[in-house]
A and B are shown apart, each in its own frame.
Chain A
Amino acid sequence: MFHLVLVNLGRNPLRTLLTLASVTLALFLFCALSGVLDTLQESIKVGSETRLVTRNKVSLIFPMPKSYMQRLQAVDGVKRVAISNWFGGSDPANPRDFFAQFAVDENYIPIYSSDVDIVEWSQLPAGVPAPAGVDPKLAVFETEQTACVVGIKLMEKRGWKLGQQVTVRGTIYPGDWTFTIRGVYKAKKKSFDESSLLFHFSYLEQKGMGGSGQVGIYVLQLADPSRASAVASAIDGMFQTSAPSTRTESEQAFQAGFVSMYGNLPFVLRLVGLAIVFSILLIAANTMMVSMRERTSEFAVLKTLGFTDGAVFGMVVAEAAVITVGGGTIGALAAKFGIEKSGFNMLGFLPSMTVYWSTVFVGIGIALVIGAVSGLIPALQASRLRIVDALRRVE
C-alpha cells in the first residue's frame, strides 16, 4: 500500500520535488530563526548573576578612568576586579568576517576560570620558572606583551595555530596590531562564547592610548555572591559624585541590556517564521488539491476494487505527509548541522549559533502538521467521492 503512495509521488517528480523543496526551505528558515532567537536568549542566561559589571553611567561607549580600579578593589565584598576593553578591530585580509577582540588585564581570565579552560598553551623555555601567582598555562601569555588568547571556535574557523601571529586592524585604535597566539580557551558550558581574541590591556594602553589608561568596563568577582546587589549599590553610591559616575549591574543584566538593543527584532523574527510556515502550508495544500483532482477517476476505480473510503483517505494524507515530513526533516537537519558546522556567529561576541534538537523536533512536528492539514481537504474529497459520479465524468 505504501508502495502505491510512493509511486504516486513519482508521477509528477518535478511537482513533488518543488513542493518538497519549499517545505525544506521553510523548515530550514524556521529552525534557523529559532536558532538565532534561542542563542540570543541563551547568551543572556550565560552571564553570571554573581559577577558584576561596572560601566560608565552615561553609556557603555564612554570609558572610565583606570584609577577606579583601586577604589573598586577596596569595596567591601569585592574579591577581584578585572579590566575589559572593547577593541573593535577587524582582520585586514577579511574585514567582513567579524570577530570580537577584548583588551583585558591579568585578572580577567582567572575570574572566568569557572567558565573556560585553557586547552592549548605555549610552554615556557626549559628552566625558566613561571612567575609567581600566575597559572602556568598562561605563563607565556602573561610574560609577552603582544601575546593573545583565542577562543577555540575562532581558531578552528580561521585555521589558526598556536604560536602563530595574527594581525588585527584597529578601527577605534588605529594601526595594524600583530599578536602571537599563546593560548586557546574552550568554554565549559555550551552556550558560552568561544570566538573572541583576548590580549593585554597594558599593550593597548601603551600603544593605543598614549599611556593614559581609560577602561571600557570593570568585571567584578565577589567574595559573597549573595550580596551582589548590595555591593552594586555601594559602588554606584561611591562614584555618585565622581565624574563619570558608574552603573553597576549583574553580568546577566548587563548582557540582557545588550541584547535588548535589538528591540522588537526577536518578536518580528518569530512572526516571519510563522508567516513562512503558513504560506508553505497553503502552497502544499494547493498542490495536493490539484494533484488529487487529476486523479478523481483513479480513486473511484480503487473504491470499485473494494478500497474503503478510509483507505483512500489514508493514502492521500500519507502522500502529503511524505512530502512535508521528508522536506521538513531535511530542512530542519540542514539548519542544525549546516549552521552549527559553519560556526555562524551573528555578532561576533555572542556564543556561536546552536539549533537545539528540540527545535529540530518541533520543526519536524510542524512539517507533520502541515502534511496532515494540507492533505486533509483533498483526502476528505477523495474519500467522500461517490464512485458513480466520478466515473461518469470520464465516460
Chain B
Amino acid sequence: MAWVEVREVHKQYQREKQAITVLDGLSLQIEEGEFVALMGPSGSGKTTLLNLIGGIDSPTSGDISVAGTNIARLSGAELARWRSNTIGYIFQLYNLMPVLTALQNVELPLLLHKMNGAERRKRATFALELVGLGDRLGHYPRQLSGGQEQRVAIARALVSDPKVLLADEPTGDLDRKSGEEVLQLLERLNTEFKKTIVMVTHDPHAAERAHRLVHLDKGVLSA
C-alpha cells in the first residue's frame, strides 16, 4: 500500500438543501518521500482533498489511509491524536498564535507529547534553527515578516517529526523572494530529511519544485 492512499473518495457539502459534490470518486497514491504539487483552478477541491488527507475533515464515502492507518474510521479524539503524531500542516496565512513567541508557537504541538520542558525547548529551538530563525526565538509573530512567519509555521509543522507535511498554498501570500525561501526550505526538508510533502499551489513556478504534479479539476484528477 502507498504511504498516502486515497481510494474512491467522494466529498459532498450541503449548502441550502442542495448537495454540492466537491470530490467525485477520486483516487490517488503518494509514495513515502515524494514531493507532490497539487494544482487546479480555484474551487476545484484542492483544499478539501488536503484536509481529508490531513484528517481534519472526513470523506462522504471512500477510504483514506496514511502511513498504514485508515483514518476514515477514526473518531474525533482518535483523529486528533493521530494528527498530532502524523501530520504537519502549513497554512497559507501561517496561523501562528499572536500571543506566543516564535519558540512558544513551535513548542505548541509538543505539548501533546510526553516530554519535559527542557526537551521541548531543545527540539523547538532546533526546528527554528533548521528554518533559519535561530536568532528569532523570542520574537512575536507581529515582529516578523510574512516569510519569517511562514518559516516559523513550517518549524511548527515539522517539530513533532510528522509522517506527512501538508501545505496549502504556502507561498500564496508571500512576495517572490520570501516565497522562494519557503520553497527552498520545503525542498530541503524533502531531499535532506526525506519528508513526504503534499503542497497545493497556484503557482507553476512553485510546482516545478515538486517531483510530481497532480492536476485537480471539478473534483477529479486530470493527470
| Total A-B Cβ pairs within 8 A | 65
Please report the C-alpha to C-alpha distance between residue A387 and residue B51 in the assembled complex, in whole angstroms.
9
- The answer on a CB contact under 8 Å between A310 and B77 is yes
Q: Interface size class for chain A?
A: 20 to 34
Query: Given A304-B89, A305-B108, A309-B76, do A388 and B56 touch, yes or no (CB 8 Å)?
Result: yes
Residue from A3, A297, A308, A391 within 8 A of B80 (CB atoms): A308
Pick the interface stretch among A6-14, A221-229, A241-249, A264-272.
A6-14
Bitwise, B17-30 to A at CB < 8 A (1) or not (0) is: 00000000000000
Residues of A contacting B99 in the complex (Cβ-Cβ under 8 angstroms): 7-8, 10-11
Whether B93 sits at the interface, judged by CB under 8 Å, is yes
Q: Interface extent on B, as a size class? A: 20 to 34
Given A305-B108, A387-B56, answer yes or no on A395-B92 (Cβ-Cβ < 8 Å). yes
A11 to chain B, nearest CB (A): 5
CA distance A310 to B84 in the complex (A): 15
A119 within 8 A of B: no
Chain A 379-395 interface mask (CB, 8 Å, partner B; 1/0): 00000000110010011
Q: Which residues of B contact A391 (CB under 8 A)?
A: 91, 95
Interface of chain B residues 11 through 60 with chain A (CB within 8 A): 47, 51, 54, 56-57
On whether the beta carbons of B111 and A303 are closer than 8 Å, the reply is: no
Give the Cβ gap from B88 to chain A, nearest Cβ, in Å.
9
Residues on B with beta carbons closer than 8 Å to the beta carbon of A309: 76-77, 80
A346 at interface by CB-CB < 8 Å: no
Q: What distance in Å separates the Cβ of B174 from its nearest Cβ neighbour in chain A?
A: 16
CB neighbours (8 Å) of B92 from chain A are 395
B118 to chain A, nearest CB (A): 15
A271 → B minimal CB distance (Å): 41
A297-B95, A388-B57 given as contacts; is B84 within 8 A of A306 (CB)? yes
A11-B112 contact, Cβ under 8 Å, with A307-B80, A308-B80, A310-B77: no
B81-122 interface (Cβ within 8 A of A)? 81-85, 87, 89, 91-93, 95, 97-100, 104, 108-109, 111-112
A310 surroundings in chain B (CB, below 8 A): 77
Whole-angstrom distance from the CB of A309 to the nearest CB of chain B?
6
A4 vs B98: C-alpha distance when bound (angstroms): 11
**Chain A positions 344-395 with a Cβ under 8 Å from a chain B Cβ:** 387-388, 391, 394-395
CB pair B97–A306 under 8 Å, yes or no, is no
Pair B56/A305 contact, Cβ less than 8 Å: no
Q: Does A205 contact B (CB under 8 A)?
A: no
Least distance between B75 CB and chain A CB atoms (Å): 10
Are A305 and B51 in touch, CB under 8 angstroms?
no
Across the interface, name the chain A residue whose C-beta is closest to B54.
A304
With known contacts A7-B99, A10-B99, A298-B97, A304–B56 Cβ distance under 8 A: yes
Q: Is the CB of B91 within 8 A of A1?
A: no
Q: Any chain B CB within 8 A of the CB of A301?
A: yes
Q: Which of chain A's residues 304-326 have a Cβ closer than 8 Å to chain B?
A: 304-310
Closest to B156 in A: A305
Are A307 and B112 within 8 A (Cβ)?
A: yes
Contact A305:B57 (CB < 8 A) given known A8-B99, A395-B92? no
Q: Which residues of B contact A303 (CB under 8 A)?
A: 56, 80
- Chain A 3-45 interface residues, beta-carbon cutoff 8 Å to B: 3-4, 7-8, 10-11
A144 CB to nearest B CB, Å: 72
A10 to B101, CA, bound (A): 13
Q: With A and B bound together, what is the CA distance between A309 and B54 in angstroms?
A: 17
Question: Closest Cβ of chain B: how far from A169's Cβ, in Å?
Answer: 62
- 9 closest A-B pairs by beta carbon, nearest first, are A306-B84, A387-B56, A306-B83, A308-B80, A7-B99, A301-B95, A11-B99, A305-B109, A388-B57
A–B Cβ pairs within 8 angstroms, 29 of them: A1-B111, A4-B108, A8-B99, A11-B99, A297-B95, A298-B95, A298-B97, A301-B91, A301-B95, A301-B97, A303-B56, A305-B89, A305-B112, A305-B156, A306-B80, A306-B81, A306-B82, A306-B109, A307-B84, A308-B80, A309-B80, A387-B51, A387-B57, A388-B51, A388-B56, A388-B57, A391-B91, A395-B92, A395-B93
Besides A3-B104, A7-B100, A298-B97, 7 more A-B contacts (Cβ < 8 Å) are: A298-B95, A305-B108, A306-B83, A308-B77, A387-B51, A391-B91, A395-B92
